[in-house]
Structure 1
């Protein structure tokens, strides 16, 4: 009963936001598996984070590490911004994840310049940031009509 009341407060379409968040788990796992495979291929033992002899391993490791460095803010922006704009947030989340995949595939070539293929993910981050700022402004009464059905 408590959960059903909670679900009633979420905006229509928030499930898409949850699916985008879940998709990020799979992208992260894919990158972690690639680092594990690269460790074996380039003989980089644990607990070494980077290799002194393999630029390619370092690029694969760095792609995953950079994703982990930005993961908390992505999730916060996705889940909070989705409270007001669930479909826009979910779509931006999907674009962000596609950007992370493109970023990784570019970096995996061993040429760090090719990681720029994933720059589209930064546009998605800006959209998510805008959604969160809009939610905050609406909730604080700084701007007019609220689109959010959450009870604050």
Structure 2
């Protein structure tokens, strides 16, 4: 399958760039699916913590004047923080994957494992333990490199 970048049906003289989807892009798709499973898992953990710490809906964050409230907020922040960066991750994964599919899929796995480590550290109730998953940023930086390489190649075609 090919994608055509630039131009339109109304502008027949425009420069067009055709980009094929490599077979290995399937790995990128599978990593994206795995990341969705990770997001669902984190949401389930927040639900379980909500029950455990008796935080009722629609309360997003518990008052932090109790140890239980702070602990619940660690679960909620781990999930929320991951959601905040998730669109950027997917954008870089898919565009970088068009240029370097296997490299991008591996970088995506590093991101996922890092975010799981981040969450599990946060779930201890000590926010400093979230730093265990900071290596997820290596995955994001690798995806940024692949995406930049893709953009440069398009310009140079």
Provide TM-score, normalisation by structure 1.
Answer: 0.87
Superposed displacement of residue 137, structure 1: 0.7
| Counterparts of 1:24 and 1:30, CA distance in 2 | 10
Higher RCO (CA-CA < 8 Å; seq separation 6+): 1
Structure 1 counterpart SS, 2:135: helix
- Of the three residues 61, 84, 91, the one matched with 2:106 is 91
| Higher alpha-carbon Rg | 2
Q: How does 1:1-152 map to 2 (within 5 A)?
A: 5-6=1-2, 9-52=20-63, 53=66, 54-141=69-156
Question: Runs (4+) of structure 1 moved beyond 3 Å?
Answer: 5-8
Superposed displacement of residue 132, structure 1: 0.5
Name the structure with the higher helix share.
1
Q: Number of paired residues?
A: 138
RMSD: 1.5
Provide TM-score, normalisation by structure 2.
Answer: 0.84
For residues 38-70 of structure 1, the C-alpha deviation after alignment (integer angstroms, 9 at most, x for no partner) is 111111111111111311100000000000000
